[in-house]
Amino acid sequence: MKSNWHISLGAAAVATLMLGLCGTAGAQSGQGGQSQQGGQQPAQSTDKSKPADVTPLSLDSAAPPPVSAEEDAAYKAFQDSPTTDLPKKIELGEAFLQKYPQSRYLPPLYSTMTIAYMQTNQIPKMLDIGDKAVALTPTDITTLSILSQTISRVTNSTTPNASAQLQKAENYSKKAMEVAPTLPKPPNLTDEAFTKGKDQALAAAHSGLGLVYIKRGKNQEAIPEFEASIKLDSNPDPVNYYLLGVANKGTAHFDDAITAFTKCANITGPMQATCKTQVDETKKKSATELSAPK
């Protein structure tokens, strides 16, 4: 398998996660139902001098500690920093964490920083802060999902404690799937945006679980996970088509494997050549071996 696709997430997916379910949505009691998403001020907020509500989209709701005006301003600067300049956003986030290590804003900041580290290929930092995010907010489905997908993609036979890492990826993905149906919709999200955000997170969770199964030699179990991931994703990741092809090829479902590899090969990008090769190899294999019944 390729080693250059482990943090693959399309631009549309990242936009949905960072602006929708990146841990900064949700109503907080006593705050007038205001909420804040990925640095954008919701329309119903009337006080632009303070960050809006920062309760993560989860089932957890502990009373936050008090904050100072200086802390509010520092978080707002991080929040308003555009995702088009991720190094700057990361710089502001790291400075905030250094100065306010016990802040009430840790849940949304951790979640956003997890995605920012992922997009800048700082995987060790991503995994570290992602684990902190989940420890603080165990029902943050966005962080659970992208951790599951990333851990499954970076873990290989040379990874220290590889078995434990794959188990963590499985646990995170299953937790995201368990929590998602019970999440309340934040007041500043439309039904469509809320559903899209959940679907995008769940697409990553199913992908992560599917790859865990492949790496354990359970190709049959992996197939429905990748099928679910592709169905949920409005712009499917070609890596998931490739992995679906791998799982089908490994179970002698050659026609389905060829279909998946072909869809991957039709998407311009780094996976295209690999998938074209797999189409040819699988066709040759199907000509000499019996296909398994469905």
**Per-residue pLDDT in tens (0 to 9) along the chain, 294 residues:** 444 454 445 444 444 454 445 443 332 322 333 333 333 333 333 333 334 333 344 444 444 556 689 999 999 999 999 989 999 999 999 999 999 999 999 999 999 999 999 999 999 999 999 999 999 999 999 999 999 999 999 999 899 999 999 999 999 999 999 999 999 888 888 999 999 999 999 999 999 999 999 999 999 999 999 999 999 998 999 999 999 999 999 999 999 999 999 999 999 999 999 999 999 999 999 999 999 887
* Predicted local confidence at residue 19, as pLDDT: 42
Q: Quote the crossing angle between the two packed helices 162-179 and 141-154, to the nearest 10°.
A: 150
Phi, psi dihedrals of residue 63, rounded to the nearest 5° = -65, 125
* Predicted local confidence at residue 294, as pLDDT: 74
* Predicted local confidence at residue 186, as pLDDT: 85
Listed by start position, the domains of the chain span 11-236
Class of domain 11-236: mainly alpha
Distance CA 232, CA 225 (A): 11
Computed from CA positions of residues 159, 165, 170, 176, in that sequence, does the dihedral angle turn out positive or negative?
negative
3-state secondary structure of 206: helix
The pTM is what? 0.80
